[in-house]
Amino acid sequence: MSVFPSKPNALQEIFQRSKPLIGTIHCLPFPGSPRYENQSIDEVVSHAVEEGLRYRQGGMDGLIVENGWDLPFSRPEDIGFETVAAMSVVANAVREATKLPIGINLLANGAFPGIAVAKAV
């Protein structure tokens, strides 16, 4: 018996299972990041969508989309509008293509920009 009242389990509610499998899409560098090499946004989107579709085919229940190649990561207050815009476009394309629930992770610790992307997507 627990001393604390039980809390709702958000993952259980979203995925209808107690231990969902969630894959992480590490996006190519976004415009404005040090490693960005002038790829078109279409190339960045295509890469992320292909990863998402592979994860879905492999049986994942959901996905996290993150700007994993925007190295070195910006401080939260330095995450630019171009990063938020690119992540919004990419995450929406992944969501549309895979039909899986997605989460957003703007590295490093970009909570407010990440919430903005999640609301847009």
Alpha-carbon span 16 to 117, nearest angstrom: 25
In a domain, 9, yes or no: no
Domain-embedded: residue 57: yes
Neighbouring C-alpha atoms within 13 Å toward the C-beta of 56? 15
Query: pLDDT (tens digit, 9 = 90+) per residue, 23-55?
Result: 999 999 999 899 999 999 999 999 999 999 999
SS3 110: coil
Q: Is residue 52 part of a domain?
A: yes
Q: Is residue 14 part of a domain?
A: no
Is residue 56 a part of any domain in this protein? yes
pLDDT band at 6 (very low <50, low <70, confident <90, very high): confident
71 CA to centre of own chain:
16
Does residue 92 lie in a domain region? Answer: yes
- Surface-to-core class of residue 58, CB atoms within 10 Å of its CB (0-12 exposed, 13-18 middle, 19+ buried): exposed
Domain total of the chain:
1
Per-residue model confidence as pLDDT tens digits over 51-71? 999 999 999 999 999 999 999
CB 29 within 8 A of CB 40: no
Output the domain CATH number for residue 113: 3.40.50
Does 12 fall in a domain?
no
**Reported pTM:** 0.88
In a domain, 32, yes or no: yes
| Domain range for 48 | 21-120
Q: Is it the case that residue 1 has pLDDT exceeding 70?
A: no
If you average pLDDT over every residue of the chain, what do you get?
94
